[in-house]
């Protein structure tokens, strides 16, 4: 479980944390659905990932410095999880358009709220970070560097295995060990051969999807590398109309891969994006052969299985390394390896 620590406030009082909460509900299907995406799932324990993320951030900064970025359609579900959330700290998008519009809207809103020169950290609502003290240490490093207004920063997670489900970051090689390094390039999810190569190198990291920047620095870079979006957000049109004209694009594509001022902080804290059922299994299992099962399931003469059932009873006999999830009237059975491809499976089913 997430380690419980005493509340601490970071030294950087200008730090604001924007939690991005949304998604299409595909990667942890069938439990995640369009109207109930991953942030609202109670994983890996009995609290939603959104609530875990909010409570984690509340141990780092004052609650007045925590912002939730979500869509209007998810407002009711969000307030159900965070009933005491300050209304003025809710940033509502008319629709999800990936992370670039969300990051721009959040940064612009916070910048206007505090009168400029704030430091903003962007965190996904659906990541699992069990050791908050270790997380706080690296947030302190990253936010302090970001507050100087010289660079855009991201966490680079140490590569634990040649995983093809992550994007990678290549940092410039340095003779001396540093707390942050210049990013040489961002790399799309590689094939198995390239992932093995990156795992052997010391200057490659998993892309965490967490970012930090000073508002003025970020908006200046957006103006330079994404001028059309910058102009739209500077316009006086309402958000509904504005979002209809925005591209569906990640902040990686829109800015981070283009800017010459990106740095990576190697972050040595326990982390998972819980992006697949296999990743959920790894977050819960103490050993590779453990069976992770709900109370109404049983595994006999099998190992390495993940079984999650909301109602039905399951008995698994003589089988290994399976994912079995029963939710919303759907029974999913696949290998842990195939759980990486559920987004494609969901789209195939929707078309049929």
Burial, 23: exposed, middle or buried (Cβ in 10 Å; 0-12, 13-18, 19+)? Answer: buried
- 5: pLDDT confidence band, cut at 50, 70 and 90? low
Question: Is 266:332 a contact under the CB 8 Å cutoff?
Answer: no
Residues in the chain: 352
In this predicted structure, what is the pLDDT of residue 33? 87
- Contacting residues for 107 by C-beta, under 8 A, at least 6 apart: 18, 120, 213, 215, 218, 219
Write out pLDDT tens, residues 136-188: 999 999 999 999 999 999 999 999 999 998 999 999 988 888 999 999 999 99
- Pick from 163, 158, 161, 168: nearest CA to 207: 168
3-state class (DSSP) for residue 264:
strand
Write out pLDDT tens, residues 238-276: 999 999 999 999 999 999 999 999 999 999 999 999 999
Domains of the chain: 15-266 (3.90.550.10), 285-351 (no CATH)
In this predicted structure, what is the pLDDT of residue 145? 96
Query: 192-211: buried (b, 16+ CB within 10 Å) or exposed (e) per residue?
Result: eeebeebbeeebbbbbbbbb
Output the pTM of the full model.
0.93
Least confident range of 4-13, 26-35, 79-88: 4-13
Question: Is 262:153 a contact under the CB 8 Å cutoff?
Answer: yes
Write out pLDDT tens, residues 84-94: 999 999 999 99
Q: Where are the alpha helices (DSSP H) in 90-178?
A: 99-114, 132-146
For the cut 90, the answer to whether the pLDDT of residue 19 exceeds it is yes
In whole numbers, what is the pLDDT of the chain averaged over residues?
92
For the cut 60, the answer to whether the pLDDT of residue 1 exceeds it is no
| Cα–Cα distance for residue pair 212/15, rounded to 1 Å | 9
3-state class (DSSP) for residue 261:
coil
In this predicted structure, what is the pLDDT of residue 27? 84
In this predicted structure, what is the pLDDT of residue 6? 43
In this predicted structure, what is the pLDDT of residue 222? 98
% of the chain at pLDDT higher than 70: 96
In this predicted structure, what is the pLDDT of residue 118? 95
């Amino acid at each position: 479980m997430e380690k419980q620590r005493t509340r601490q406030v970071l030294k950087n009082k200008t730090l604001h944390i924007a939690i991005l909460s949304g998604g299409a509900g595909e990667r942890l299907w069938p439990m995640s659905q369009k109207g109930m995406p991953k942030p609202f799932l109670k994983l890996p324990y009995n609290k939603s990932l959104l609530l875990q993320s909010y409570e984690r951030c509340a141990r780092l900064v004052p609650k007045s410095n925590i912002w939730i970025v979500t869509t209007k359609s998810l407002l009711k579900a969000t307030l159900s999880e965070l009933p005491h959330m300050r209304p003025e700290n809710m940033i509502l998008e008319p629709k999800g358009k990936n992370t670039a519009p969300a990051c721009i809207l959040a940064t612009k809103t916070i910048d206007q709220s505090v009168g400029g020169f704030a430091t903003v950290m962007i965190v996904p609502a659906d990541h699992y970070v069990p050791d908050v003290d270790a997380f706080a240490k690296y947030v302190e490093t990253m936010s302090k560097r970001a507050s100087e207004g010289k660079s855009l920063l991201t966490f680079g997670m140490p590569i634990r295995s040649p995983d093809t489900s992550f994007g990678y970051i290549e940092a410039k090689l340095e003779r001396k060990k540093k707390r942050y390094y210049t990013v040489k390039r961002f790399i799309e999810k590689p094939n198995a051969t390239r992932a093995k190569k990156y795992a052997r190198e010391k200057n490659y990291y998993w892309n965490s999807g967490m970012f930090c920047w000073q508002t003025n620095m970020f908006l200046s870079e957006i103006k330079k590398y994404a001028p059309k979006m910058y102009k739209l957000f500077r316009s006086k049109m309402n958000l509904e109309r504005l979002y209809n004209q925005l591209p569906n694009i990640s902040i990686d594509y829109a800015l981070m891969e283009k800017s010459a001022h990106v740095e990576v902080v190697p972050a040595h804290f326990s982390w998972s994006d819980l992006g697949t059922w296999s990743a959920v299994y790894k977050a819960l299992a103490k050993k590779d052969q453990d069976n992770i099962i709900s109370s109404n399931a049983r595994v006999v003469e099998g190992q390495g299985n993940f079984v999650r059932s909301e109602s039905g009873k399951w008995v698994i006999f003589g089988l290994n390394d399976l994912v079995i999830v029963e939710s919303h009237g759907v029974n999913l059975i696949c290998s842990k390896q195939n759980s990486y491809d559920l987004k494609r499976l969901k789209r195939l089913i929707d078309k049929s």
